[in-house]
A and B are shown apart, each in its own frame.
Chain A
Amino acid sequence: MPGLAPAALRVVLYEGEGSTPLDPGQRLAALVALLAAGYQVTRVVSGGMVTPQDSGFILVLGQFQEGLPPVPAAEHREGRLEVRDVAGISGVGIAEMVEEVRAARGVEAPGSWTPWFPVIDYGRCTNCMQCLSFCLFDVYGVNDASELTVQNQSNCKTSCPACSRVCPEAAIMFPKYKKGPINGDVVRPSDLQSESMKVDISSLLGGDIYASLRNRQKTARKRFSTERDESKALLERKRCLKKLQKNLDIPDEVLMTLPSVGDIQDRARRAKEKHAKRMARSQTVQDQQPAPSVDDWGI
């Protein structure tokens, strides 16, 4: 995802006063092609209501009865408004024209990233942070209000809904997932029961996922040194991963990109440092507060 860039380009099909409406086939073909290419399209008619403009680039297309309308200087919006006549141009031709204008203006092309990421239902989320502990790709974070947040959407692995399955409240949605309630469908009591039945990674690993991973590594080292049966251990690991993969619906590609134990420990160390820094900063801020007065104490 290109760094949370603002809207690329808004296309306005103008069919209001002073213009001839587009041919129905031309309009639909243009809409289909533009939406498929990732553009936002607004159809404007006389007396109709659409969402207002913002500071982004707007391309107005229409069949203007008296040539291109003059755009008042105040409406030029620092060159972020362009008007084109599309009379006699097919729907697909209109989409091609938009693409040319976008490229010429140097506006970022839409659709460079598949939008797959978790969406939190804050009406259900209890801020338990299980998802944050579980996700190995730094998708989750905590905001200034100590509330769970999705901070790195583009780190999320496409088609992997695993974190939503460890949420005890079914509060994590992936709107493009095939089944409910993960896709945003209503959460029924039976869903919640089955959600909690699925996998509670935290309790499975004894509460602290990182400590458990360290213990597992120690145990594995011990076992390797005594048994020296690497192939058996690898087989066991593979079997465990397969089971986990099936339970959590994790795509193969995600398992292939899992960070190593070292990476996870490193990340945990960085998180601890960050937390310690934050605590120190917050302590300093508290210390800088003036001492409470007699009035503050209510004396």
Chain B
Amino acid sequence: MGRMSQAKETRVVYCNCTYAKVVPEDVKTEVLARLSQSGMAFDAVADLCEMSARKDPALKRISAAGEVRIIACYPRAVLGLFRAAEAPLAGDRVEILNMRVAAAADLVRQVLPAAPPLKEKT
């Protein structure tokens, strides 16, 4: 799963992990706020786990639509969720960013390289 260039064709999917408290709230909030402020188009989903269990057709749309950057949790889990929904992600066309371990500033830098840096939290 290589890093992708900031191609204009790359879609961005943000997972809010709504039904659990395992993603740090401040990271989720900051990333969503920055996405919202940016002028870019994106898809925000409430919870990829829930969509996977329902075999939501949206997952097939995401996996079939070309390059995608998914901001969610551990890549192994995200790949498993898509496969479970019969919508396997192609390794070379997906970049998965992990909000459970990465700092909001790093994530924002990767998704929105043109965005001004975040203020350091005290």
- List the interface of chain A (C-beta within 8 A of B): 1, 4-7, 10, 24, 27-28, 31-32, 35-45, 47-56, 110-111, 113-117, 119-122, 150, 153-154, 173, 175-178, 180, 183-187
Contact = CB atoms under 8 A, between A and B. Distances in A.
Contacts of B37: 24, 28
Of A31, A37, A43, chain B has the most CB atoms within 10 Å of the CB of: A43
Given A114-B19, A119-B84, A51 B77 contact: no
Nearest to A178: B22
Interface of B: 8-11, 13, 16-20, 22, 29, 32-33, 36-37, 39-58, 61-62, 65, 73-78, 80-81, 83-84, 100
B46 A50 contact: no
Interface centre among A10, A49, A56 (most CB of B within 10 A): A49
Contact of B36 (A24, A44, A178, A184): A24
A114 B37 CA distance: 30
Contacts of B39: 45
Nearest to A110: B46
A270 B73 CA distance: 39
B40 to A, nearest CB: 6
Contact of A173 (B20, B40, B76): B76
A137 B81 CA distance: 21
Contacts of B100: 183
A40 B58 contact: yes
Contact of B43 (A42, A175, A183, A184): A42
B46 A121 contact: no
Contacts of A122: 80, 83
Given A122-B83, A183-B100, A184-B74, A54 B61 contact: yes
B36 A31 contact: yes
Nearest to B29: A32
B102 to A, nearest CB: 13
A190 to B, nearest CB: 17
A59 B118 CA distance: 33
A10 B59 CA distance: 13
Contacts of B41: 42-45, 48-50
Contacts of A7: 51, 54, 56-58
A183 B74 contact: yes
A119 B59 CA distance: 15
Given A5-B54, A121-B76, A183-B73, A176 B20 contact: yes
A24 B17 CA distance: 22
Contacts of A117: 49, 53
Given A35-B45, A51-B58, A121-B80, 13 more contacts: A4-B54, A28-B32, A40-B43, A43-B36, A49-B41, A50-B43, A51-B62, A113-B53, A173-B77, A175-B49, A175-B80, A175-B81, A184-B76
